[in-house]
Chain A
Amino acid sequence: MTLFGDPAIWLPFAFAALMGLSILVYVVLDGFDLGVGLLFPFAEPAERDRMVASIGPFWDANETWLVMAIGILLVAFPVAHGMILTALYLPVAVLLIGLIARGVAFEFRVKAPTRHRGAWNRAFFGGSLAASLAQGFMLGLYVTGLQLGWANIAFAALTAVFLTVGFSFIGAVWLIAKTDGDLQRKAVHWARRGIWGMVAGIAAISAATPLVSSRIWDKWFTWPEIVWLSPLPILSAVLIVVLWRLLARMPLPGDRWAWAPFGIATTLFVMAFGGLAYSFYPYVVPEQVTIYEAAAAPESLIIILVGALVVLPVIVAYSILAYTVFRGKATELTYY
Chain B
Amino acid sequence: MDPLILSRIQFAANISFHILFPTITIALGWVLLFFKLRFNRTGDEKWMDAYRFWVKVFALSFALGVVSGITMSFQFGTNWPGFMEAVGNVAGPLLAYEIMTAFFLEAAFLGIMLFGFRRVPGWLHTGATALVAFGTTLSAFWILVLNSWMHTPAGYELRDGVVHATDWFAIIFNPSMPYRFVHMLLASGLTVAFLIAGFSAIRWLWGDRSAEIRATQRFGAWMGAILIPMQIFAGDMHGLNTLEHQPAKVAAMEGNWETQGRVPLVLFALPDEAARENRAEIAIPGMASLILKHDLDGVVPGLNDFVAADGSIEHPPVAPVFFSFRVMVGIGFAMLALSWSSLWLMRKKRGGVEGLPKPWLYAFVGMAFSGWVATLAGWYVTEIGRQPWLVTGVLTTSEAVGPVTGGMVATTLTAYLAVYALLMAAYLGTLTYLARKAARHDPLSPAIPKPDAGVRALQPAE
Binary CB contact string for chain B from 383 to 410 against chain A (1 if under 8 A, 0 otherwise): 0000000000000000000111000100
Q: Which residues of B contact A200 (CB under 8 A)?
A: none
Query: Which of B106-114, B276-284, B316-324, B339-347 is near enough to bind chain A?
Result: B106-114
The digit string for B437-462, where 1 denotes a CB below 8 A from any CB of A, is 00000000000000000001111111
Q: Report how far A3 CA is from B303 CA in the complex, Å.
A: 56
Task: Tell me, yes or no, whether A271 is within 8 Å of chain B by CB.
Answer: no
| Nearest-CB residue, chain B, relative to A297 | B89
Cα–Cα distance between A319 and B97 once the two chains are bound (Å): 18
Residue A72 lies at the interface, judged by CB distance under 8 Å to chain B:
yes
Main secondary structure, interface of A, reads helix
Among A46, A92, A311, A325, which residue has its beta carbon within 8 angstroms of that of B116?
Answer: A325
Question: Would you list which residues of chain A between 109 and 126 have a CB under 8 Å from chain B?
Answer: 110-113, 117
Q: How far is the CA of A76 from the CA of B89 in the complex (A)?
A: 9
| Cβ-defined contact, A111 with B56, below 8 A | yes
Tell me the dominant secondary structure on chain B's binding face.
helix
A277 at the interface (CB under 8 A from B): no
Residues of B in contact with A, size category: 35 or more
Given A82-B77, A318-B109, verify A100-B426 contact (CB < 8 Å): no
- A90 sits at the interface (CB 8 A): yes
Alpha-carbon separation in the docked complex, A63 to B84 (Å): 23
Contact status of A85 and B408, CB under 8 A, knowing A76-B92, A100-B419:
no
B 72-112 to A, binary, CB cutoff 8 A, 1 in contact else 0: 01101110011011001110110111011101111111111
Contact between A112 and B105, CB atoms less than 8 A apart: no
Segment among B254-262, B326-334, B427-435 that sits at the interface with chain A:
B427-435
Q: Is the CB of B95 within 8 A of A74?
A: yes
Q: Is A66 an interface residue (CB 8 A)?
A: yes
Binds B, one of A54-62, A168-176, A222-230: A54-62
**Which residues of chain B from 120 to 146 have any CB-CB distance to chain A below 8 Å in the complex?**
120
Q: Contacts A53-B461, A56-B461 known; A96 to B71 CB distance under 8 Å?
A: yes
Q: Is the CB of A82 within 8 A of B164?
A: no
Minimum CB–CB distance for B406 against chain A, Å: 12
Which of B59-67, B206-214, B304-312, B349-357 lies at the binding interface? B59-67
* In the complex, residue of chain B having the shortest beta-carbon distance to the beta carbon of A73: B77
Cβ of B34 under 8 Å from chain A: no
List which A56-88 residues lie within 8 A (CB) of chain B.
Answer: 56-58, 60-61, 63-64, 66-68, 70-76, 78-79, 81-86, 88
**B294 part of interface (Cβ distance < 8 Å):** no
Q: How far is the CA of A321 from the CA of B107 in the complex (A)?
A: 12
**Interface contact A104-B63, CB-CB below 8 Å:** yes
Take A74-B88, A86-B402 as given contacts and tell me if A100 and B412 are in contact as well, using a CB distance cutoff of 8 Å: no
Flag whether B70 is at the interface (Cβ < 8 A). yes
CB B409 to nearest CB in A, in angstroms, measures 8
**Other-chain contact of B115, A66, A67, A312, A333 (Cβ < 8 Å):** A333
Say if the beta carbon of A152 comes within 8 Å of chain B.
no
Q: Out of A110, A315, A333, which one reaches B104, CB within 8 Å?
A: A315
Q: Is A308 at the interface (CB under 8 A from chain B)? A: yes
Take A307-B96, A335-B461, A335-B462 as given contacts and tell me if A300 and B90 are in contact as well, using a CB distance cutoff of 8 Å. Answer: yes
Which residues of chain A are near B456, meaning CB under 8 Å? 332, 334
Bound together, the chains give a CA A101 to CA B423 distance in angstroms of: 9
In the complex, chain A residues 308-336 whose Cβ is within 8 Å of any chain B Cβ: 308, 311-312, 315, 318-319, 321-322, 325-326, 331-336
Known contacts A57-B111, A97-B419, A322-B109; decide if A110 and B462 are in contact (CB<8 Å). Answer: yes
Closest Cβ of chain B to A269, distance in Å, is 21
With CB as the reference atom, state the residue of chain A lying closest to B69.
A67
Q: What CA separation (Å) do A64 and B92 show in the bound complex?
A: 17
Contact (Cβ within 8 A) A108 B60: yes
Across the interface, B408 reaches (CB within 8 A) one of A90, A97, A101, A308, namely A90
Tell me the bound Cα distance from A307 to B93 in angstroms: 9
Chain A residues with Cβ below 8 Å from B348 are: none
Closest B residue by C-beta to A317: B108
A99 within 8 A of B: yes
How close is A114's CB to chain B, nearest CB, in angstroms?
A: 8
Residues of A within 8 A of B (CB): 46, 49-50, 52-53, 56-58, 60-61, 63-64, 66-68, 70-76, 78-79, 81-86, 88-90, 92-93, 96-97, 99-101, 103-104, 106-108, 110-113, 117, 296-297, 299-300, 303-304, 307-308, 311-312, 315, 318-319, 321-322, 325-326, 331-336
3 closest Cβ pairs, A-B complex: A82-B81, A57-B111, A85-B77
22 A-B contact pairs sorted by A residue (CB < 8 Å): A46-B458, A60-B62, A70-B73, A71-B99, A74-B92, A82-B402, A89-B412, A93-B416, A96-B71, A106-B63, A108-B60, A108-B426, A111-B56, A300-B88, A303-B165, A303-B168, A304-B97, A307-B96, A307-B97, A307-B101, A311-B104, A336-B52
